[in-house]
Structure 1
Amino acid sequence: MFKSRNCYQLPLTQAAAGCSCCSSEPSTSAADTGAVEFSVEGLTCGHCVRTVEDAVRALDGVESASVELVSGGRSRLRVSGIAAGADVREAVTSAGYTVGNN
């Protein structure tokens, strides 16, 4: 039998729609790290992901760009740095994909 037990209290989100990972509310962690998220439609594979990431990384001011692929749905593009949102949208569109309404 264990005599000690380590417990950690984790902060809960105030979102009415559920926990922070399931909430439909916008994520605040992106703002905390200087990252901005975009939804991207039309990506179906790793090649699509690399195409979008490379196009966005080529923009002045972008520190990093990563895509969480949802094949056939809305994938999540996370961009950190100081690039303008309009420039990111243009890079994604020029690469042949659609930026959804966030």
Structure 2
Amino acid sequence: MCGTENRSQLPLAAASGCSCCSTEAAPSPTAAAGATTVEFAVDGLTCGHCVQTVEKAVSAVDGVESASVDLVPGGRSRLRVQGTVDAAVMREAVTAAGYTFAGI
């Protein structure tokens, strides 16, 4: 169960979702000069807490400068990763966080 004191305001990609998410837009991360951005599909995310969990897990990987998720509750969400990225390592980070890595 997540505590309300540590929640971040995260956007939803659709109007529906769980009650712990905000529909207000969060600031986008800025890319460092020359950074590579790679997108992956992730299944199983339903709320802002899920997004935060995946972003935190992926951001901890060596070579990742930033990670952000476009949430699609009940659908396939998009994970954007900036930096030096290996798909196998991203799969491991996402699955270790408890979600399904659906590929590039």
TM-score normalized by the length of structure 2: 0.65
Q: Distance in 1 between matches of 2:73 and 2:47?
A: 7
Q: Structure 2 matches for 1:70-81, cutoff 5 A?
A: 70-81=72-83
Instruction: Identify the range of structure 1 (38-47 vs 83-92) with the bigger mean alpha-carbon deviation.
Output: 83-92
Contact kept in structure 1, 2:42 and 2:103, CA below 8 Å: no
Three-state SS of the structure 2 residue aligned to 1:91 is: helix
Alignment RMSD (CA, Å): 1.4
- Normalised TM-score (structure 1): 0.66
5+ unaligned residues in a row in structure 1: which ranges?
A: 1-31
Q: CA deviation at 1:44?
A: 0.1
Say how many residue pairs are matched. Answer: 71
Distance 1:101 1:88 in 2: 9
- Answer 1 or 2: higher relative contact order, Cα 8 Å, separation at least 6: 2
Q: Structure 2 stretches of 5 or more lacking a match?
A: 1-33
Identity of aligned residues (%): 66
**Greater radius of gyration (CA):** 1
- Equivalents in 2 of 1:101, 1:79: separation in Å? 13
Counterpart among 51, 54, 73 of residue 53 in structure 2:
51
